[in-house]
Amino acid sequence: MKPAAAKREGDGASPIGRWPARRVFYRPDKGPPPETGLPAIAIRREDGWSDDVAEPTYNRLAPLPCLGSHERLWREDGLYDLIVELGYNDEPVVAGMGSAIFLHVARDGYAPTEGCIALAQADLRAVLKLLGGGSLIEIRA
């Protein structure tokens, strides 16, 4: 994780600050909904997240196919089997300030993310049990 005080789209940095945990997305074919106090939403194959600054869906859940640049939430590598949406750049959304800042499953060896926070799936499930309305995730330098 490379923290940044001034996050920009595509810089690969995680935004420094305290961000609300909004909701959890999970792969229903990989197991039951996680135990959490956050709203839990099953990911569908057609779910994406827009990272295209020119699109009105920027930094929002967007149905696929979509015209602009996006991330596919239904991934084969397991990283998005569990996703906590963090409330970064969402009230209001400002184009170019960064998108798709999630807490999600880590790669083997904890390889760097593109700006997100990642934990081993067992650790992420343990954290999810502690999260509810009003929970904040803090990213420090």
pLDDT, tens digit only, all 141 positions of the chain: 688 888 999 999 999 999 999 999 999 999 999 999 999 999 999 999 999 999 999 999 999 998 899 999 999 999 999 999 999 999 999 999 999 999 999 999 999 999 999 999 999 999 999 999 999 999 998
For the entire predicted model, the pTM comes to 0.94
CA atoms of 100 and 86, how far apart (whole Å):
8
**pLDDT tens digit sequence for 68-86:** 999 999 999 999 999 999 9
CA atoms of 97 and 89, how far apart (whole Å):
7
- Nearest Cα to Cα of residue 101 among 82, 112, 87, 122: 87
Token look-up 């106090």 returns 37
